[in-house]
Amino acid sequence: MTTIKLHNTKTKSRESLEPIDPRNVRMYVCGPTVYDRAHLGNARPVIVFDVLFRLLRHVYGQDHVTYVRNFTDVDDKINARSAQSGRAIGEITAETTGWFLDDMAAVGALEPTHMPRATAYIAQMVTMIEDLVAKGHAYAAEGHVLFAVDSYKDYGALSGRSVDDMIAGARVDVAPYKRNPMDFVLWKPSDAQTPGWDSPWGRGRPGWHIECSAMSYALLGAHFDIHGGGNDLMFPHHENEIAQSACAHPGAGFANIWLHNEMLQVEGRKMSKSLGNFFTVRDLLDDGVPGEVIRFVMLSTHYRKPMDWTDKKRDEAERVLRKWYALAATEEAAAPDDLLVGLLGDDLNTAGAIAHLHKLAGAGQAGALRGALALLGLMGSQVPDWAAQRTFDLAAYEAYLSDARTTAMQTKDFAEVDRIKAMLLAAGVQVQMSKDGVVLTPAADFDAAALEVL
């Protein structure tokens, strides 16, 4: 059996995954707050942990992996969107949850085993908060309940910062009812216009952090194998999760391994609406970028390195995938080879895995390539529709242009080469000529009919 090694953020070291129960490997990943479309950066953790989910299923068996990813459907951003639009909160979250699932399916993500909504676990959150109060780790004040950070001595171990450093470097909500500036909200009061639930502290709603502790406990237990998310969640969200869960279930261990993916950039800059480089996954899909291309670009960079989305990478990914799909379609899928599985088992080395796929394609190993594409989530049982629709047999044209080029090299007359190239470009075909030969790739505006005269 393949040994999976992962970089544990908490210990700052690479560790072998040793499941608590190999018959039920358990993973929790923090999911989206569903108030709008998922932007491109939101897709990165989904794709990263989808690859890990697929790898775990391959190694331990599909029925022996439990993957939980939550939906935050109670949040002040959602409340603000409701007030702004006049639409009911439940209507907004139902719509945006559907959008998220559709967009993530388009980039090849499997649905997790469980996708709990925060609003369905309010009772479990209230129970956990009551327990924390009873144990002296939380206190009620002015309709709020706050976690007492100084009651948990290991606070800051995940991010490796002291409480004083965190106060200095964070925007801390200083409120008169807080005993310590770092104490965070477990429960807060709701007015008549804001969603709320009855509780021992009055009508209110949960803070952000408690939902993941309550849902992971309900679905995975007090001790599970892997907890993941973007590195922007390390502090305060994951730090607070650990504190709550460790105090609610002392000695249980919570998550053994913590994984965090790095953030996404666009053309070398942070994605931002103010910079005009902000777009959603749906924007790309509607603009004709296939989901497999988005996934390929994401997987070309190791998850612990910043990922830079560029037009050049997108175009190259589409060109490569078209060629791979044309080859893979010629044979049935073979089982993923040990080298590929080993690369993924080495802290999700997806960049190395893609380099391996290039070698399989170069060697003409269609069945092995197809199996590898499947494990990476880049190909299902069929060639993707977009590739099937836009793939055109350009081999004859490649040979034609190559022969004309060879003749031109001898006669020094490139008129015919230029004529052929111009017609191909006009038909929406990308033309690449090098010492290795001629490569033709259909572009987004490819028109096969325009090649008939050629």
**159, 234 in Cβ contact below 8 A?**
yes
pLDDT score recorded for residue 445: 66
**Token output for 308:** 């830079």
pLDDT for the residue numbered 454: 62
In this predicted structure, which of 105-114, 171-180, 236-245 has the lowest mean pLDDT?
171-180
Cα 151 from Cα 238, distance rounded (Å)? 17
SS3 letters across 68-107 = EECEECCCHHHHHHHHHHCCCHHHHHHHHHHHHHHHHHHC
Q: Average pLDDT, stretch 68-94?
A: 93
**How large is the average pLDDT for residues 25-38?**
96
Amino acid at 437: G
CA distances from residue 292 to 18, 370, 373, 413 in whole angstroms, order as listed:
32, 14, 10, 41
At residue 256, what is the residue type?
N
What is the distance between the alpha carbons of residues 283 and 297, in angstroms, rounded to a whole number?
16
3-state percent helix, strand, coil for the chain, nearest multiple of 5: 50, 20, 35
Instruction: Specify the residue for token string 């544990």.
Output: 8
What does the pLDDT look like over 216-240, one tens digit per residue? 999 999 999 999 999 999 999 999 9
* pLDDT band with cut points at 50, 70 and 90 for residue 367: very high
What are the CB-based long-range contacts (under 8 Å, 24+) for 440-447?
440/394, 440/397, 440/398, 440/401, 441/318, 441/319, 441/322, 441/323, 441/394, 442/322, 442/390, 442/391, 442/392, 442/394, 444/288, 446/390, 446/392
Cβ atoms of 340 and 356 within 8 Å: the answer is: yes
Residue position matching structure tokens 């702004």 = 84
Structural domains of the chain ordered from first start: 5-261 (3.40.50.620), 273-390 (1.10.730.10), 395-451 (no CATH)
Task: State mean pLDDT over 251-268.
Answer: 96
Give 333's pLDDT tier (boundaries 50, 70, 90): very high
Task: Give the confidence band of 396 by pLDDT, cuts at 50, 70, 90.
Answer: confident
133-166 residue pLDDT tens: 999 999 999 999 999 999 999 999 998 877 666 6
Mean pLDDT confidence for 3-12: 97
Cite the beta strand spans of 96-196 per DSSP E.
138-141, 144-147, 184-189
Total-model pTM: 0.86
Q: What is the pLDDT of residue 388?
A: 62
How much is the average pLDDT of 79-90? 91
Task: Choose the weakest-confidence range: 6-15, 92-101, 345-354, 403-412.
Answer: 403-412
Binning pLDDT at 50, 70 and 90, where does residue 392 land? low
